[in-house]
Amino acid sequence: MQFTPYAKGLLVALSLSVMAGCSSSGGAQDGDMDSANSGANTAGMNTGANSNANQMSNAAMPDVRTIYFAFNKDTIRPEFESVLMGHAQYLKANTSANVVLEGHADERGTREYNLGLGERRAKSVARFLTVQGVSPSQIEIVSYGEERPAVQGHGESSYAKNRRVVFDY
Amino acid sequence: MRRLTAWMMAAALLAVTSLARADLTIEITKGNDSATPIAVVPFENLTGGSLPQDLARIISDDLARSGQFEPIKRDNLIALPGTTQDVFVNDWKRLGASYLVVGQVKTASNGGYSIQYELMDVLGNKRMLGEVITGSNGELRARGHYMSDEIFEEITGIRGAFSTKIAYITANGVGDNIRFALYVADSDGHNSQEILASDEPIMSPAWSPDGKKLAYVSFEAERPAIYVQELGSGRRAKLTGFRGINGAPAWSPDGRKLAMALSKDGQPEIYVMDIASRQFQRLTNNPAIDTEPDWLPDGSGMVFTSDRAGSPQIYRLDLSGGTERVTYTGNYNSRGRISPDGENLFMINRAGNGYQVAKQDLKSGRVTSLTDTQWDESPSVAPNGTMVIYATQQGTRGVLGQVSADGRAQFSLPSAQGDVREPAWSPFLN
């Protein structure tokens, strides 16, 4: 009796690994690659000269890798523009570097809607970077919504730390 | 090569799969003043040994959890009859019981148990129901829920939903060290079984209409993807892994299609995937966030959340064309779930002091708040429409709550540890 859940858990885990092997060739994934390629376009090309100009002085990876947002907003706050400029310069100087922009929301509201909010914030950052001349092919966006809070707890001080976009190189 | 990677991924998942259980316990947070008093007498044990389950307790807890019954406390029972032949009906009238349940357990010829139970209408002095059922050791809890179903239906005329299950997500840990797990348990929180664990988020479990599969979102490959897993075998398939959001899976009533939110073409839009052919049909086209679809019971359309008017509101989409806004009360209404009879919409509504489960009558438009908690999420309706399970917070911990569809009775189901969230109530399983 005592071992039943153990045995079942093990069985499920084993059969799960078998299926994971079988299911990895799903057709849906290929569409993914297409859109990544078609997304890489003009913005990267026409500002190439700019990026060279800044390359020497600003090529280090910026230390600040998280920026924060107001409630239900995806606009870049003025105080974070210099942070984003630093990342833009780094990415332009290092065209082989890629970044995942992780979008996050605070816990208020429903989870799937908050996935959308997190994505909006990450896209807002991506737009800023591409306007500065970063190639879209260097940027990927993943929204975690409210699933990975930076801090626990209710109240604006916690919420403010959770509404964020993180640069993951 | 891809196969190898997938195997390694599965091995990593396996490594984090511990054998912890996450049974939930029920606490009554708000009683229903007009609940029907019922006496459930401890079953007479004629087996000669001790019983592994207290069947009367299971029935009594089920009926209390429906919000429609108030079982009389065991200490107040004045006699312990095992059959209705031994009942002196005036005793129970004096106690204020409207109904009485009695039972006997014997050893069956195959070594299992033979259970006789009877339901009596105390005021009418009439035996309403009597049956003998059998079950093994491991089946006793299920037999208890079966009896609750029969008793509930006999008295109310509504099919009981006590033999159903719930799926839910747990999260333990903080920051980068959170362990996420998907569980399936009995609808009373017992017999929990972990069916998936990961150190990346798991979200949005959804039952197939036959109750045999779960669709869910897993970030295990560090990107969200929609999977469908067979509960019996544990086998699963990845249905989508597009760039961007792959979220909010919802089965069509015939089980052949999944509605979902995908942001592959920009912002989240509602798509329908034909599971057999893997063909997609895009249903919305809007610069807003469109997500959280739920099918109408007749499959003719769905409701979904959209912030196309500025803040999130719920819209109804007809598959033959046309979309209309459904919610107007308050500036935040999301994650709608239609009742099985199609008459009510359950949703999260932002009221004065937080996000609460609310019900909107789809004919009159009238909105009733069902809970008084602050951070409610993820309402899911029982297949008989009498109860709603949802996620909420106690202190800083995520717990599940249940509320009767009329809001009169409320319960919480905390887990022993960590956060519990995103409950999904199964369809009828028998």
Q: Classify domain B31-156 at the CATH class level.
A: alpha beta
Residues of B in contact with A26 (CB under 8 A): 237-241, 278
pLDDT band of residue A54 (cuts 50, 70, 90) is very low
Alpha carbon distance A168, A100 (integer Å): 5
pLDDT at B264: 96
pLDDT surpassing 80 at residue A1: no
| Band (A57; pLDDT cuts 50, 70, 90) | very low
CB atoms within 10 A of CB B242: 23
Are the beta carbons of B204 and A111 separated by less than 8 Å? yes
**Which of B240, B355, B377 to mutate against chain A (most A CBs within 10 Å)?**
B377
The residues in B 293-312 lying below 8 A from A, measured between CB atoms, are 305, 307, 312
Say whether A26 and B239 touch across the interface (CB within 8 A).
Answer: yes
User: pLDDT at position B417, please?
Assistant: 72
- Residue span(s) of chain B under CATH 2.120.10.30 come to 165-425
Cross-chain residue pair B335–A113, CB shorter than 8 Å: yes
Minimal CA–CA distance to A35: which of B239, B243, B271, B287?
B243
Note the pLDDT of residue A15.
Answer: 42
Model ipTM?
Answer: 0.89
Furthest-apart CA atoms within chain A: distance in Å = 71
Contact B236 A19 (CB under 8 A): yes
Q: Are the Cβ atoms of B234 and A1 closer than 8 angstroms?
A: no
Q: Per CATH, is B165-425 categorized as 3.30.70.20?
A: no
State how far the Cα of B257 lies from the Cα of B329, in Å rounded to an integer: 31
When pLDDT is averaged across residues A63-75 and rounded to a whole number, the result is: 94
Give Cα B216 to chain centroid, integer Å.
Answer: 15
Give the residues of chain B that fall short of pLDDT 50. 1-19
Q: How far is CA A25 from the centre of its chain?
A: 25
Element (H, E) at B72: none
Q: Which DSSP helix (H) or strand (E) runs through B357? A: strand B354-361
Range in A14-23, A40-49, B100-109 with the lowest mean pLDDT: A40-49
- The predicted structure's pLDDT at residue A13: 42
DSSP 8-state assignment for residue B385: S
Both tokens assigned to B258? 């999944």
Q: Which residues in chain A are closer than 8 Å to B396, comparing Cβ atoms? A: 152-154
Q: Phi and psi (nearest 5°) for B121?
A: -85, 105
Two structure tokens written together for B139: 């089946």
Domains and CATH numbers, chain A: 65-169 (3.30.1330.60)
Contact B375 A141 (CB under 8 A): no
Q: What pLDDT, on a 0 to 100 scale, did the predictor assign at position B20?
A: 52
Domain boundaries for CATH 3.40.50.10070 within chain B = 31-156
What pLDDT, on the 0 to 100 scale, is given for residue B413? 84
Q: Do B247 and A112 touch (CB under 8 A)?
A: yes
pLDDT at A8 over 80: no
Pick from A12-21, A103-112, A139-148, A160-169: least confident: A12-21
One-character DSSP codes across B248-288:
EEEE-TTSSEEEEEE-TTSS-EEEEEETTTTEEEE----SS
Q: What confidence score (pLDDT) does residue B21 get?
A: 62
Q: At a CB cut-off of 8 Å and minimum separation 6, what does B2 contact?
A: A24, A25
Tell me the residues of chain B between 368 and 407 that have a Cβ less than 8 Å away from chain A. Answer: 374-375, 377-378, 393, 396
